[in-house]
Amino acid sequence: MKLFLIAGEASGDALGGALMAGLRDLRDDIVFEGIGGPRMTAAGLDSRFPMDELSVMGILEVLPKYRHLKRRISETAQAVAEAAPDALIGIDSPDFCLRVAREARALNPDLRTIHYVAPSVWAWRPGRALKMAEVIDHVLAILPFEPPLMQAAGMTCDFVGHPVVSEPVANADEANAFRAAHDISADAPVVLCLPGSRKGEVTRLGGRFDEALMRLRDRVPEIRVVVPTVPGVAALVRDMARRWPSAPVVVEDPQEKLAAFAAADLALAASGTVSLELAANRVPMVIGYDMAPLSRLIVGMLLRTDTVTLVNLVSETRAVPEFLGSRCQPGPLSDALLTALEDMAARKAQFDAMDLTMDRLGKGGEAPGLRAARSVLRAIGQAPEFPEPSERS
């Protein structure tokens, strides 16, 4: 059996690597082709070109690379046609993956197509699901409320669990070691600052987040600020942090990042999946986000929900305070941080919402990569039926 997989970002590469491992557990005759990063390469994929070429977000960032990306779409679709796989599996990165699926399906109308990570039609642009259904047969959803939305558009869809439930968390000893390594006393509140994983996010939010944390420090002088970051923006974060009056500890090493999460009492974070990482580590949080003025206006007109924080959405609460667009300002952020740090009722509400979120995302059940693998094999007629909802964890 042959599968052609495409991932365009680090998060998709992680999903793809876990999916490939799950498929290997279930079948020993699978050949993988496609595009991926280090995790998919480690699982046995020889990427046709560097995945980093696809890691572009935003209109202004895409425009200079449009012709190159368009050429890569056509090249990839042709490669799919030549490989004649049992299925094409796009992993997130819908702008690239769905265009490849459309061109590949035009070359081979019988091609089976699967997409891993449903588009956020619950938040905005619901018409994307209908457009997606023109070229996608089956969807692997990572949020429990997504399957009905995909099915209503005409695709089959399984909730396969969110990868955050399988990610490791540090223990108390590692948290204490982190504090000791950075000369943070046991009773000093540790506040994580997470201004995003893309340069535009860090540039736009970094100064506001730092100002909010300085105001918090005026009210709680003993706090220590820690900024976990990722390689793509680490240099930018370190440069900004050197100029921030709050003088944070910057953490880039993945293991040290886990320890920082375990040591934290509070977090100020950009909107995104990081809210689920914080929930997995039971770190109360305040969420802030903003974008360029034109993008803010457009998204504001299209937004279909009163929250975009995944903990709030999955738990069906509004326990996590959220400040979007023009509301993302240092004063309100600082006030919310103080409440989340000192108000025990507010903290308990967040803890309850986090625990419910992790349960609903599949914590304690079968690993998402293996569930996704079973769903893929079922979708192409190579496995028993996916467990009924009553049997799922």
Cross-strand partners of 35 = 6
What local confidence, expressed as pLDDT, does residue 95 receive? 87
Each residue's pLDDT tens digit, 217-230: 999 999 999 999 98
Each residue's pLDDT tens digit, 180-190: 999 999 999 99
On average, the pLDDT of the chain sits at 90
Tokens of 272: 């995104």
Lowest mean pLDDT among 129-138, 191-200, 252-261, 296-305: 296-305
CA dihedral 234, 237, 239, 240 (to 10 degrees): 180
What local confidence, expressed as pLDDT, does residue 59 receive? 41
Q: Which domains does the chain show, CATH number per domain?
A: 2-161+365-385 (3.40.50.2000), 172-360 (3.40.50.2000)
Each residue's pLDDT tens digit, 67-113: 878 889 999 999 999 999 999 999 998 889 999 999 999 999 999 99
Each residue's pLDDT tens digit, 263-303: 999 999 999 889 999 999 999 999 999 987 766 676 666 66
What local confidence, expressed as pLDDT, does residue 115 receive? 98
Instruction: Tell me the backbone φ, ψ of residue 298, rounded to 5 degrees.
Output: -65, -50
- Give the separation between CA 336 and CA 327, rounded to whole angstroms: 12
| 256: enclosing H helix or E strand | helix 254-263
Higher pLDDT, 305 or 154: 154
Complete DSSP assignment for 186-208: TTSPEEEEE--SSHHHHHHHHHH
What local confidence, expressed as pLDDT, does residue 272 receive? 86
DSSP state of 117: S
Check: CB of residue 101 under 8 Å from CB of residue 88: yes
